[in-house]
Amino acid sequence: MRRTTVLLLAVLVALVYFALPKLTESLRESYLEESSAEKVGRAITHRVYFDIAHGDEKVGRIVLGLYGNALPKTVENFRSLATGEKGFGYKNSNFHRIIKGFMIQGGDFTSGDGRGGRSIYGNKFDDEGFMFKHDGAGVLSMANSGPDTNGSQFFITLVETAWLNNHHVVFGRVVEGMDVLMKLGTVKTGGSDRPQQAVKIIESGVLP
């Protein structure tokens, strides 16, 4: 019995001695691959700008970095709507819904109240993926009315909104103008969280 126990212990020691370094290295390589993939996915491929006014006051510019490597279809939709190259887009549209401590929402350039908008692919297009999270302020995400109902509407978070993960497609983040975003998040609103004075995108486009 004692001999059997000794043999088993010897086998276990050998397994730990030879297998553990390989397992550790394998886990390390896997972690590095995942980290590298996430970095590639989060790489900013396009920078869209919005020049924004609140009533008659020019508030400033927000620049949004887009994750085109990870979500090319969603990013191309947003980029094209920002330039207006398809004959329609975000210029002169409003942020129709602002909730303090949550988010600002815009992109409805057809009805202006959250019921309209359209994508460059047609009325709606499918969710492209949920690899990125609503993990803080300045996250750019697609607004929708359920699964696979992306159009042109989007929102930018003012705080972490983890409950939206896996329900809305995150495809970018604010890279400049966080102060402008936070200022917009405090404007006075009325019914349906609509700003009392229009918050308008007076110019939009893509930076080189």
Q: Report how far residue 66's alpha carbon sits from residue 85's, in angstroms, rounded to the nearest whole number.
A: 18
Confidence (pLDDT) at 89: 98
Q: Kindly state the helix (H) or strand (E) to which residue 34 belongs, with its residue range.
A: helix 2-42
What is the pLDDT confidence band of residue 95, given thresholds at 50, 70 and 90? very high
pLDDT tens sequence across 11-68: 666 555 565 566 557 656 654 555 555 667 899 999 999 999 999 999 999 999 999 9
Kindly give, in sequence order, each residue whose CB lies less than 8 Å from that of residue 2, ignoring residues fewer than 6 positions away: none
- Integer-rounded Cα Rg, in Å, for the chain is 23
Here the tokens at position 128 are 């492209």
Residue 71's Cβ-side half-sphere holds a number of Cα atoms within 13 Å equal to 28
Mean pLDDT of the chain: 90
pLDDT of amino acid 22: 63
C-alpha count within 13 angstroms, C-beta hemisphere, residue 21: 4
pLDDT (0 to 100) of residue 41: 83
Catalytic residue among 61, 102, 130, 194: 102
**Catalytic residue at 105?**
yes
Confidence (pLDDT) at 94 = 98
pLDDT at 40: 74
Q: Which tens digits make up the pLDDT trace of 158-199?
A: 999 999 999 999 999 999 999 999 999 999 999 999 999 999
Q: What's residue 125's pLDDT?
A: 98
Please state, in angstroms and as integers, the Cα–Cα distance from residue 118 to each residue in 80, 106, 110, following that order. 12, 12, 8
Q: Note the pLDDT tens digit of each residue in 40-53.
A: 789 999 999 999 99
Choose between 36 and 120: higher pLDDT. 120
Sign of CA dihedral 120, 200, 95, 59: positive
Say which of 47, 54, 79, 97 is annotated catalytic: 97
Q: Measured over all CA atoms, what is the biggest interatomic distance in the chain, rounded to whole angstroms? A: 90
Torsion of CA 137, 141, 144, 146, to 10 degrees: -90
For residue 25, report the phi and psi dihedrals to the nearest 5 degrees.
Answer: -65, -40
Contact criterion met (CB below 8 Å) for 178 and 135:
no
* Token pair listed for 157: 């978070």
Beta strands across the sheet bearing 103-106? 97-99, 103-106, 154-157, 139-142, 170-176, 57-66, 46-54, 199-207
Q: Is residue 167 annotated as part of the catalytic site, yes or no?
A: no
The pLDDT score that the predictor gives to residue 178 is 98
Catalytic (active site) residue 102: yes
From the list 64, 66, 164, 181, the catalytic residue is: 164
Which pLDDT belongs to residue 93? 98
Calculate mean pLDDT across residues 93-100: 98
Q: Is residue 153 annotated as part of the catalytic site, yes or no?
A: no
> Residue 137 to residues 75, 88, 164, 184: CA-CA distances in angstroms?
19, 28, 13, 13
pLDDT in tens, 128-148: 999 999 999 999 999 999 999
